[in-house]
Amino acid sequence: MFPSSHCTVCNHKLGPLELIPVFSFLIQGGKCKHCKAKISWYYTIFELLTGILFMLSYLLFGFSASCFIALVLSSILVIIIISDYKYYIIPDEIIFIGAILLAIGLFLKGGGDFSHFSISNGFHQLLISLRDGIFSFLLMYGVKIFGDFLFKKESMGGGDIKLMFLVGMVLGFPLSIITIFLASIIGLPIAFLLLLRKSTHVIPFGPFLSVATLILFFLQCNWLDVLLVFA
């Protein structure tokens, strides 16, 4: 949020017409309206990805607490994919704010329908989610310790470990283990290509973990509902 959206070349603050996802890029011909510097397709791709994830969230869950969880999770993970890939960091602010918003969503989901909402059930679901988040956090921390011992250097950043807390909250402890394996499978060929193209051997794990989480989260849903909408 701060500083507000701006051109990274001339620091021109973007106006409302320059902030329309995807369309602003196309209307401006992929260039800054002020200094005519080229705008990377990087931004547009992730704007489009976020829009698709938001659409799927509503189509799968409708207006519900589950939809709120899906929207928050999608937003957090897209930010993490960008931040960790581009800057090799997962901001603590994203994890902290994400944890609070997801906790609210899980509490509302556990409480049931708004017409028959149960506070006790909501707190029960929240406690289970927090427990699974802690278990997942400790599991990832154990993986880091083993990796550090095996490679004799830091094998994983602290942000990945904190991210696993959110993954455990949403997916549950057993499924969070599968998330780590799926992220490793997804990341292996991509990491190999990156190593061929770059001189650095630092490969961020956060983007792969985020993609794996999104895949497993949305695969739990009833995709027949989405197909029926377009039928």
Q: Where are the domains of the chain?
A: 61-230
Through-space distance between the first and last CA atoms of the chain, rounded to whole angstroms: 39
- Residue 6, classed as helix, strand or coil, is strand
Phi, psi of 38 (to 5 degrees): -70, 140
Beta bridge partners of 31: 38
From 96, 9, 83, 81, select the one nearest 49 (Cα to Cα).
81
- According to the model, what pLDDT value does residue 34 have? 85
Distance CA 172, CA 139 (A): 13
Summary mean pLDDT of the chain: 88
- According to the model, what pLDDT value does residue 225 have? 59
Reported as a single tens digit per residue, the pLDDT across 109-163 is 998 876 678 899 999 999 999 999 999 999 999 988 988 888 777 778 889 999 9
* Separation in Å, CA 83 to CA 88, 105, 229: 7, 24, 34
- According to the model, what pLDDT value does residue 180 have? 92
Exposed/middle/buried for 133, CB within 10 Å: 0-12, 13-18, 19+? buried
**Which position has the token pair 């283990």?**
177
Count of positions (residues) in the chain: 231
- According to the model, what pLDDT value does residue 213 have? 95
- Residue 38, classed as helix, strand or coil, is strand
- According to the model, what pLDDT value does residue 117 have? 84
- According to the model, what pLDDT value does residue 42 have? 83
Whether the CB-CB separation of 108 and 65 falls below 8 Å is answered with yes
* Apex 58 CA angle, 219 and 84, nearest 5: 65
Tell whether pTM > 0.75: yes
Contacts of 41 (CB under 8 A, 6+ apart): 30
From 110, 159, 144, 145, select the one nearest 130 (Cα to Cα).
110
Residues of the chain with pLDDT under 70: 1, 114-115, 198-201, 221-231
Contacts of 119 (CB under 8 A, 6+ apart): 111
Whether the CB-CB separation of 126 and 109 falls below 8 Å is answered with no
Give helix then strand counts, H and E, for the chain: 9, 0
- According to the model, what pLDDT value does residue 161 have? 93
Distance CA 227, CA 230 (A): 5
